[in-house]
Amino acid sequence: MTEHTAADDHALAAELATEAGRLLLAVRAEVGHGDPRVLKDTGDLRAHEHLMAAIAERRPGDAVLSEEGRSSAAGKRSRGGADRAPTGNTRDADRLAADRVWIVDPLDGTREYSEEGRADWAVHVALWVKGELAAGAVALPAQGVTLRTVPGGARAGETDLRVPEPEPGKLRIAVSRTRPPEFVQRLAEKLDLDVTLVPIGSAGAKISAVLLGEVDAYVHAGGQYEWDSAAPAAVALAAGAHASRVDGSPLAYNRPDPTLPDILVCHPVSASTLLTGIRDVSDALPG
């Protein structure tokens, strides 16, 4: 088996996410916003096929788990693309036995991608190695930046990235644009802080907003999978943020069931307050 250095893996994650982001911008320009469904599917599938081919070429021995490699995505078709179904993921048995697994979301925030002028969508590329997230990159193509892990830390573009502390007494929490969880509203009312809920599109864009100081926390429960959080969590942890399940337990990846429904990302100084508050409103958490 070919050995790859950690620095190579960090660089490759950033390269793959950034290139897929450029491809998605080109698809947006080519297809236009006249039919949102066609734009969503075309972007999803072209970015997926690009990442699958690039990983197969650059890391041929590695396994892949992609949102668009699921059997449920087989009915999607890309405009101007082949009639065949999307390239499938590595078989579960092989993925679970592998030492290295790329966990990717070719287009996180398809709704925002299909809406003209919106920039809160992302490309996620993460590498899991022997039980841990080893590298990750979140491209924000319409914002012109990729947040990425590097040896010993994280960067936004070429700028070192450290999660900023919130302003004392205040907290801005990123929530879904279309389906803000009831429990986050309850949490905001419970906290002894001046809390503002900030609607943002994709999970990657929300976690990036925490790391860039545009909000102070992201709290979510319900309806997410490993590809929604692997890359942003890798960057967040490398940038010194707290990232966990909403009960405080560690995030775990490359499991038989890729469902990973909840996450908390914030500055470490806010973690205890938020985890206590979440516990106090746990009756409102989605079942």
**pLDDT (average), residues 115-124:** 97
pLDDT, one tens digit per residue, over 135-152 is: 999 999 999 999 999 999
Assign 239 a pLDDT band (cuts: 50, 70, 90): very high
Q: What is the pLDDT of residue 28?
A: 97
SS3 for 207-255, per residue?
A: HHHHHCCCCCEEEEECCCEHHHHHHHHHHHHHCCCEEECCCCCCCCCCC
Alpha-carbon distances of 194 from 161, 163, 188, 199, 200, rounded to whole Å = 26, 20, 8, 17, 19
Domain 6-161 CATH (choose: 3.60.20.30, 3.30.540.10, 3.40.640.10, 3.50.30.10): 3.30.540.10
Please name the residues in contact with 201: beta carbons below 8 A apart, sequence gap of 6 or more: 109, 111, 112, 118, 120, 121, 177
Lowest mean pLDDT among 29-38, 39-48, 81-90: 81-90
Q: Is the pTM of this model over 0.85?
A: yes
- Cβ–Cβ < 8 Å for 111, 117: no
Architecture of the 170-284 domain: 3-Layer(aba) Sandwich (3.40)
Among candidates 50, 66, 75, 238, which has minimal Cα distance to 141?
Answer: 50
Helical packing angle, 182-190 and 268-280, nearest 10° = 110
Return the bridge partners of 127, or none. 102, 135
Please name the residues in contact with 194: beta carbons below 8 A apart, sequence gap of 6 or more: 169, 170, 171
Among candidates 52, 61, 66, which has minimal Cα distance to 16?
Answer: 52
pLDDT, one tens digit per residue, over 211-223 is: 999 999 999 998 8
Percent of the chain with pLDDT over 90: 86
Domains 6-161 and 170-284 share a fold: no
Q: Is 107 flagged in the annotation as binding? A: yes
Q: Is 62 flagged in the annotation as binding? A: no
- Cβ–Cβ < 8 Å for 267, 212: no
Q: Where are the domains of the chain?
A: 6-161, 170-284
Assign 282 a pLDDT band (cuts: 50, 70, 90): confident
Please name the residues in contact with 238: beta carbons below 8 A apart, sequence gap of 6 or more: 136, 149, 150, 153, 154, 161
Q: Is 140 flagged in the annotation as binding? A: no
Residue 36's region, left for phi above 0, alpha for psi from -120 to 50, else beta, is: alpha
Q: Is 94 flagged in the annotation as binding? A: no
- Cβ–Cβ < 8 Å for 265, 200: no
- CB count within 10 Å of CB 250 equals 10
Assign 65 a pLDDT band (cuts: 50, 70, 90): very high
Residue 197 to residue 209: CA distance in whole angstroms:
13
